[in-house]
Amino acid sequence: MARTLLCEIVTPERIVYTNEVEMVIAPTVEGEIGILPLHVPLVTVLKAGELRVRYNDSKDVEWFAISGGYLQVHEDKVIVLAENAALASQIDVDRARQAKDRLEQRMAQLKDESAAQADRDVCEVDLNWCEAQIKVAERRG
């Protein structure tokens, strides 16, 4: 049996996932990173996108959409702290598309209104989350 590491994906509301896995592949702001057992300790910033976990001798993979956040590696444990995370098969694509359309309209209004940068930033984060959900669900769901 291959060596494993514990992976936990946590949001403020709940623990989305916890399992022994062989590899975690996550979208960082500097590019994708792969975490294997015995990885050096690490804390890094995640961007919105697709997070994958491999297990069962890498035969099985589960895909998650994440909104960004942080990834911590310590010994044989990976913790993903994200504002939002969803298993690909549980994403409601129609709902995500509707939210994306509303956010795009809102973003256009904010540009026209010379709104505060903080308002545009919040809207952009939400828009990135919707896009990540759509992308992951369409490819993997």
Give yes or no: residues 38 and 52 share one domain: yes
Give yes or no: residues 59 and 101 share one domain: no
Q: Torsion angle of alpha carbons 61, 63, 64, 69, nearest 10°? A: 70
Q: What is the DSSP string of the chain?
A: ----EEEEEE-SS-EEEEEEESEEEEEETTEEEEE-TTPPPEEEEE-SEEEEEEETTTTEEEEEEE--EEEEEETTEEEEEES-EEEGGG--HHHHHHHHHHHHHHHHHHHHTT--HHHHHHHHHHHHHHHHHHHHHHHH-
Give yes or no: residues 136 and 112 share one domain: yes
Give yes or no: residues 38 and 68 share one domain: yes
Give yes or no: residues 23 and 53 share one domain: yes
Give yes or no: residues 133 and 65 share one domain: no
**Residue type at 39 in one-letter notation:** H
CATH of the domain at 81: 2.60.15.10
Give yes or no: residues 15 and 58 share one domain: yes
Residues 14-47: tens digit of each pLDDT: 999 999 999 999 999 999 999 999 999 999 999 9
Between 28 and 122, name the one with better pLDDT.
Answer: 28
pTM score, whole prediction:
0.88
Give yes or no: residues 74 and 115 share one domain: no
Domain total in the chain: 2
Give yes or no: residues 13 and 60 share one domain: yes
Give yes or no: residues 109 and 51 share one domain: no
Residues 55-113: tens digit of each pLDDT: 988 789 999 999 999 999 998 999 999 999 999 999 999 999 999 999 999 888 877 66
- Name the residue range of residue 40's domain: 5-88
